[in-house]
């Protein structure tokens, strides 16, 4: 078996796992980052997310404006995480050991694993519908078939994921252009845009839906930029990833808004069939079903691959193991995908409402992590990291960073009064006419707190840039 250190950058099967990527193995381009995130967002779940803005009471015009604002705000946060990848050469969540400690980082990482599980399961539900319609089988069998595909893609790893992303981008663009043309033909888009009933609650719901969609990528976006050469411009990385994600998600959500507005109550419960039905029947419908299923392969593979990274990071923090073989990765991926498949099979019939509650409630746990990570990286550590110490509980970052953990906990708790979901609604929501502003508080409060307390804790000797030392040095 070829060891990770012997694997060349041209190999199809990835040999690296959560360990540092040496400069000699760096490869890829900013264009591949753009296409990966464009393809990851040109997919059915993003369409459904946009549709929720209308299904839950918003009008078309203000929903589109709210979604765009949310994309830009959340996309900026997400892309700031992506810019860390080339500089650090590490998966995103292992760098959290700087802020939380080698052991303490397991706290946010465990919650990230729950996020991956939920998003993979919801993706399987929609893909199962598409595959079932495409080949004439039940949705449950479609879920099983889709699960098998993402196991293979996640096992092959980084290079294959980018290849799938490029293909998904092309298919997605073709399918979306066709569906937009059909909507213009069969519906009166101008009339829909002329109906303007501004309501703060509906408008901010649209902002939150888009912002949460983008911010949810934060815990793993650097996993896919870490192979870029360390000299890659952070600004260009930010733009390539951010534009790909924002353009893809906004295009998908705009389609969802128009589709839901024209559906007259027929959208919920048959999301995939309704979207494909806009495009026609017969061979055209079959091609659209294939595009829907293939579009979900990219993001579902990202979720499964990211889950492996997170679980491996948790284990390595306590065991000191920085490298995992392809066989070990397969075991992890099988367990992750199997769990997501079980959730998808059990919960496939109550999808739409549960999905909205899930993504909004999850935001409360990831915005504080994002705030802490970004403030530390850009304002305290200033893009420097002692990579060897990330794997050493007795090193400079210690086992538990109480300042980071405390700020994170406060960041979660301070949002609770302002959350509005079916899972939980805080007491302040009724004073705000039902508007959920928890994600704004979850970014601002922990960012300010960590800037104060993190600066005190970080007053130590300067360290070399991340790429100066390998993780297992």
Residues in contact with 405: Cβ distance below 8 Å, sequence separation at least 6, in sequence order: 100, 101, 104, 107
The residue among 121, 123, 122, 91 whose CA lies nearest residue 109 is: 91
Positive or negative torsion for Cα 120, 121, 127, 131: positive
pLDDT band at residue 320 using 50, 70 and 90 as cut-offs: low
Q: pLDDT tens, 64-113?
A: 999 999 999 999 999 999 999 999 888 888 888 899 999 998 888 888 88
Strand partners, 425: 420
What ranges in 27-105 are assigned the alpha helix state H?
A: 30-41, 44-55, 60-82, 84-88, 97-100
pLDDT tens profile 253-269: 998 898 888 877 666 66
Give the pLDDT band of residue 137 (cuts 50, 70, 90): confident
Q: Within a 10 A sphere around the Cβ of 293, how many other Cβ atoms? A: 26
**210-219, 352-361, 395-404, 434-443: the lowest-pLDDT one:** 352-361
User: Treating both helix axes as pointing N-terminal to C-terminal, what angle do 351-375 and 106-135 enclose, rounded to 10 degrees?
Assistant: 140
374 pLDDT higher than 90 = yes
- 307: tokens are 């889950």
- What 3-state class would DSSP assign to 420? strand
- Tell me what the pLDDT averaged over the chain comes to: 81
Judged against a pLDDT cut of 90, whether residue 395 lies above it is answered with no
Look-up of token digits 């213009």: 184
- For the cut 80, the answer to whether the pLDDT of residue 295 exceeds it is no
pLDDT at 32 over 50: yes
Mean pLDDT calculated for residue range 111-122: 80
CA distance 302 to 298: 6
Quickly count: other Cβ atoms within 10 Å of residue 233's Cβ.
13
pLDDT at 82: 94
Give the model's pLDDT for residue 204.
87
* pLDDT tens-digit series, residues 209-246: 899 889 888 888 888 898 899 999 999 999 999 999 99
Six-digit token string for 191:
């009339």
Average pLDDT over residues 317-325: 70
Compare 430 and 462 and report the one with higher pLDDT: 430
Burial (CB count within 10 angstroms: exposed 0-12, middle 13-18, buried 19+), residue 447: buried
Helix 351-375 to helix 438-457 angle, to the nearest 10 degrees?
Answer: 30
The predicted pLDDT at position 366 comes to 83
Selected residue with higher pLDDT from 153 and 472? 153
| Domain chopping of the chain, boundaries | 29-351
**Whole-number pLDDT of residue 167:** 82
Instruction: Reply yes or no on whether the pLDDT at 468 is more than 70.
Output: no
Whether the pLDDT of residue 9 is over 80: the answer is no
Share of the chain above pLDDT 70, in %: 87
- Contact (Cβ atoms closer than 8 angstroms) between residue 308 and residue 333: yes
Q: How confident is the model at residue 5 (pLDDT cuts 50, 70, 90)?
A: very low
Q: Look at residue 322 in the predicted model and tell me its pLDDT.
A: 59
**pLDDT for 355:** 64
Single pTM value for the model:
0.83
pLDDT surpassing 80 at residue 15: no
Give tens-digit pLDDT for 152-179.
877 777 677 778 778 878 888 888 888 8
In this predicted structure, what is the pLDDT of residue 314?
84
**Topology annotation, domain 29-351:** Hydantoin permease (1.10.4160)
In the chain, the percentage of residues whose pLDDT exceeds 90 is 22
């Amino acid at each position: 078996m070829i060891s990770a250190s012997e694997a060349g950058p041209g190999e199809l099967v990835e040999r690296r796992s959560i360990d540092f990527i040496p400069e000699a193995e760096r490869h890829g381009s900013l264009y591949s980052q753009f296409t990966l995130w464009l393809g990851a967002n040109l997919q059915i779940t993003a369409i459904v997310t946009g549709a929720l803005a209308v299904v839950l009471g918003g009008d078309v015009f203000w929903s589109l404006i709210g979604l765009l604002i949310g994309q830009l705000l959340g996309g900026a946060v997400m892309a700031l995480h992506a810019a860390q990848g080339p500089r650090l050469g590490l998966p995103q969540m292992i760098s959290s050991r700087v802020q939380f400690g080698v052991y303490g980082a397991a706290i946010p990482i465990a919650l990230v694993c729950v996020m991956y599980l939920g998003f993979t399961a919801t993706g399987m539900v929609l893909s199962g519908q598409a595959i079932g319609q495409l080949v004439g089988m039940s949705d449950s069998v479609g879920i099983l078939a889709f699960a098998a595909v993402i196991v293979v893609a996640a096992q092959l790893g980084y290079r294959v994921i980018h290849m799938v992303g490029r293909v998904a981008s092309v298919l997605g663009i073709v399918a979306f252009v066709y569906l937009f043309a059909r909507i213009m033909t069969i519906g009166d888009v101008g009339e829909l845009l002329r109906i303007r009933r501004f309501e703060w609650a509906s408008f901010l719901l649209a902002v939150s839906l888009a912002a949460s969609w983008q911010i949810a990528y934060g815990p793993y976006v650097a996993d896919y930029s870490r192979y870029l050469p360390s000299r890659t411009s952070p600004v260009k990385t930010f733009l390539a990833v951010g534009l790909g994600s924002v353009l893809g998600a906004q295009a998908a959500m705009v389609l969802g808004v128009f589709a839901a507005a024209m559906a007259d109550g027929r959208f919920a419960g048959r999301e995939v069939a309704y979207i494909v039905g806009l495009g026609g029947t017969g061979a055209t419908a079959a091609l659209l079903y294939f595009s829907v299923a293939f579009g979900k392969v990219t993001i579902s593979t990202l979720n499964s691959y990211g889950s492996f990274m997170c679980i491996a990071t948790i284990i390595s923090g306590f065991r000191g193991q920085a490298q995992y073989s392809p066989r070990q990765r397969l075991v992890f991926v099988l367990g992750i995908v199997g769990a997501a498949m079980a959730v998808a099979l059990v919960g496939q019939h109550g999808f739409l409402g549960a999905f909205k509650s899930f993504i909004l409630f999850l935001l409360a746990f990831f915005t504080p992590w994002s705030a802490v990570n970004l403030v530390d990286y850009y304002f305290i550590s200033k893009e420097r990291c002692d990579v060897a110490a990330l794997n050493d509980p007795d090193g400079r970052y210690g086992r538990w960073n109480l300042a980071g953990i405390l700020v994170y906990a406060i960041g979660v708790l301070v949002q609770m009064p302002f959350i509005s979901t079916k899972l939980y609604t805080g007491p302040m929501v009724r004073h705000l006419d039902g508007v959920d502003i928890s994600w704004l508080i979850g970014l601002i409060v922990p960012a300010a707190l960590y800037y104060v307390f993190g600066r005190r804790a970080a007053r130590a000797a300067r360290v070399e840039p991340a790429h100066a030392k390998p993780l297992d040095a």
